[in-house]
Each structure stands twice: as structure tokens, then as C-alpha cells.
Amino acid sequence: MKNDMSHDEYEKAANYWKLKDADSVNADTKMLMSEIEAFIDKNDTCALATGFGEFVRCTPIEYTYHDSAFWLFTEGGEKFISLEHNKNVCIAIFDKFSGFGHLKGMQISGTAQIIETFSEQYIKAANFKKLPIEALRKMPEPIHLIKIIPEKIDFLNSDFKKQGLDSRQSIIINK
């Protein structure tokens, strides 16, 4: 099959946002983090992308956000194929598309940690999510907990334009 783009064309497309961001009008860090956390808190479901070698997986999954991290309880699944070897992950959270002037969505790059079942962090996260610990202990298979520590957030929010900012804002955190 013939490739529809040259290497240079792929590279140019890949660098689109890097070039555009160089001339962006950026938000104040405190204001941006406030907007980011409000959007994260408004939602509770994300798409978790994992990958290793030729294997990739994108899993829709519920999350909670607290202590500057995402917490995902899960029975298991193929995402663990990748997580065993590659802790780099990406989360996407987005509103339903309703037109180009109303875009809201973000992708969060970070690292995943598998939290030991019934450890102090596990119990704290279960309590935050209001999951009864005794019910979790009675499950025939353990419910796993993935903690994702964000490192970079790209937030596309059309409302930023009303404030004289570029609609896409990026922030590096936890580094």
C-alpha cells in the first residue's frame, strides 16, 4: 500500500501545534489550572490510551480526580498488557461536539502506577469514590486501582477566546 503522505508531510503535521503554540496568547498558570480542574471535576469518564510495542489499547473508563492525580478502579482488561511494560499513558476527556465555536476537551499525558490492593492509598481512593471496602474485599477477583500522575495537559476550550487567549492551552505539571 502506497503511503499517502511523505515523511516531511507527516513531520509537518506532527509539529503543527508546536509551531502554533510558539505564538499563542497563554493563560495565567493559576487561572488555567482552575479551569482545567473545573473541567476534570465536571466529568467522570475518560478514554485511557496505553501501548507497548505493536499493541495499543484505548479504554473508556470512569475516574475520580483528587490529590493531583486520576484514580481508576478496574476489574482488569487488556490495558494491563501495556501497563506491565510501559507506564506512559494518555487520557482524553471531552464534551460532546456541538460545533467548532463550542469545543472543550483535553488530553493528559502522564505516568501510571498500579496501587497495591487494600494499601492505605487504595483505601483512601475507595473511600473518596464511596466504594465500600468490605464489598471490595468480598469480590471473587481483586478490583485494581490505577493512579495516573499528570505531567502535561493540553486543554482545548473555545471559551478562552472570549478572554483574549488562544483556545488551546498547555501546561507542564508534576515534573
Q: Which three cell numbers stand for residue 91?
A: 487520557
Contact of 86 with 51, CB cutoff 8 Å = yes
Distance CA 143, CA 74 (A): 6
Residue pLDDT tens, the chain, 175 long: 566 899 999 999 998 888 888 788 888 899 999 999 999 999 999 999 999 999 999 999 999 999 999 999 999 999 999 999 999 999 999 998 887 778 899 999 999 999 999 999 999 999 999 999 999 999 999 999 999 999 999 999 999 999 999 999 999 996 6
The residues that bridge with 113 in the sheet, in sequence order, are 147
Contact of 171 with 160, CB cutoff 8 Å = no
Contact of 104 with 91, CB cutoff 8 Å = no
Distance CA 82, CA 105 (A): 25
Distance CA 79, CA 91 (A): 13
